[in-house]
């Protein structure tokens, strides 16, 4: 087995057009991170001449001394792999990053029971998210909704507000980015910089890389949702709702209507993002109400 640090974007993108993967392992997401100062490194995992996996790392210095490389929600296995293959790949990562000593390499596999980590130290517990399988028909997806969630959707569909796709020209959705930044400041939470979105879209050079749905009542905006499309997967990235939008169930309708549009774009899996049943119980209930699969990853390994 060997790691290829020279894998081209065309090969990376072609692989993830067939294999659903987390946003953090998308090539353009990595390039967008570079635009906000991150150091990003990539390797292809090759065994017997076959590309079996991809791994994208972000690196930084801790206290100006220790070199840290982190593979978030990766590696992405493109082929079925054995315990020994995965274990060998993890062992090779440290030297492949080209980091100076002392160095630490961490991986957060995108699996509940990851291969290859036996004998490694788990330094963080697993992240939880909700994944929605979009290879299902819309009828099956609707049947899978929680009863209360479906009732709220039914009510929202009968309401008078309109749902439309917002333009993906940056100037036309800047209001949503600015609103999201304001929400973060007001609520005191941290998230990916909003400036990452236009950078990601520009690097993709494909208008279908963003899906922005907006609910309007007359000339007033009620709510909006923004999704990033990467390969054959998509990730819910941000949303906003006014008080009137919450009363009208606008987010239920926006999310539901996004599913058909994402399916039309060839998306097979929608990642609804992290769930926290303690501090974010309401959001967690909303995401779980879609009938998606709750996944808790194995954790971060040293």
CA-CA distance, 230 to 199, in Å (whole number)?
Answer: 14
Amino acid 190: pLDDT: 57
Strand, helix or coil for residue 214: strand
Tell me what pLDDT residue 186 has.
Answer: 58
* Domain formed by 130-296, architecture: 3-Layer(aba) Sandwich (3.40)
Can you give the pLDDT at residue 275?
86
pLDDT tens figures, 266-290:
999 999 998 886 667 889 999 999 9
pTM over 0.75: yes
pLDDT in tens, 32-74: 999 989 999 999 999 999 999 999 999 999 988 999 999 999 9
Separation CA 203–CA 29 (nearest Å): 9
> CA 245 to CA 113: how far, in whole Å?
39
Residue 271, beta-bridge partner list: 131, 235
pLDDT of 194 reads 75
Q: What percent of the chain has pLDDT over 70?
A: 95
**CATH topology classification for 2-120:** Aminopeptidase (3.40.630)
**Dihedral angle sign, alpha carbons of residues 182, 283, 256, 229:** positive
98-121 per-position pLDDT tens digit: 888 899 999 999 999 999 999 999
Show Cβ contacts of residue 8 under 8 Å, excluding neighbours closer than 6 positions.
Answer: none
Q: Which two three-digit tokens encode residue 45?
A: 């995992």
The pLDDT, as a whole number, for residue 183 is 66
Please tell me if the domain spanning 2-120 has the same topology as the one spanning 130-296: yes
* Residue 269 confidence (pLDDT): 98
pLDDT value of residue 69? 95
Domain residue extents for the chain: 2-120, 130-296
**Distances, alpha carbon 152 to alpha carbons 125, 162, 163, 236, 253, in Å:** 34, 16, 16, 20, 9
Contact partners, residue 28, CB within 8 Å, separation at least 6:
200, 203, 204, 209, 230
Half-sphere exposure of 247 (CA within 13 A, CB side): 5
């Amino acid at each position: 087995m060997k790691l290829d640090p020279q894998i081209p974007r065309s090969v990376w993108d072609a692989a993830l057009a067939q294999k659903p993967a987390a946003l953090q392992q998308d090539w353009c997401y990595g390039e967008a991170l570079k635009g906000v100062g991150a150091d990003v490194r990539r390797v292809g995992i090759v065994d017997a001449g076959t590309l079996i996996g991809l791994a994208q790392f972000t690196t930084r210095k801790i206290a100006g001394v220790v070199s840290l490389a982190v593979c978030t929600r990766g590696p992405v296995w493109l082929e079925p792999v054995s315990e020994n293959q995965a274990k060998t790949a993890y062992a090779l990562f440290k030297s492949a990053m080209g980091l100076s000593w002392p160095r630490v390499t961490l991986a957060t596999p995108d699996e509940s029971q990851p291969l290859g980590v036996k004998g490694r130290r788990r330094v963080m517990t697993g992240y939880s998210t909700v994944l929605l399988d979009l290879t299902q028909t819309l009828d099956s997806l609707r049947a899978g909704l929680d009863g209360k969630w479906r009732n709220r959707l039914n009510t929202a569909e009968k309401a008078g507000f309109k749902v439309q796709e917002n333009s993906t020209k940056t100037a036309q959705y800047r209001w949503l980015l600015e609103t999201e930044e304001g929400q973060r400041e007001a609520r005191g939470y941290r998230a990916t910089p909003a400036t990452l979105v236009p950078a990601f879209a520009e690097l993709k050079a494909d208008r279908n890389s963003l899906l922005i749905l907006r609910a309007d009542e007359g000339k007033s905006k009620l709510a909006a949702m923004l999704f990033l499309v990467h390969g054959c997967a998509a990730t819910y990235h941000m949303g906003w709702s006014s008080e009137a939008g919450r009363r009208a169930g606008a987010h239920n309708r926006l999310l539901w209507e996004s599913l058909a549009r994402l399916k039309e774009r060839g998306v097979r899996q929608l990642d609804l993002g992290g769930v926290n049943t303690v501090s974010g119980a309401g959001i967690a209930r909303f995401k779980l109400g879609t009938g998606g699969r709750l996944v808790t990853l194995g954790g971060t390994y040293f």
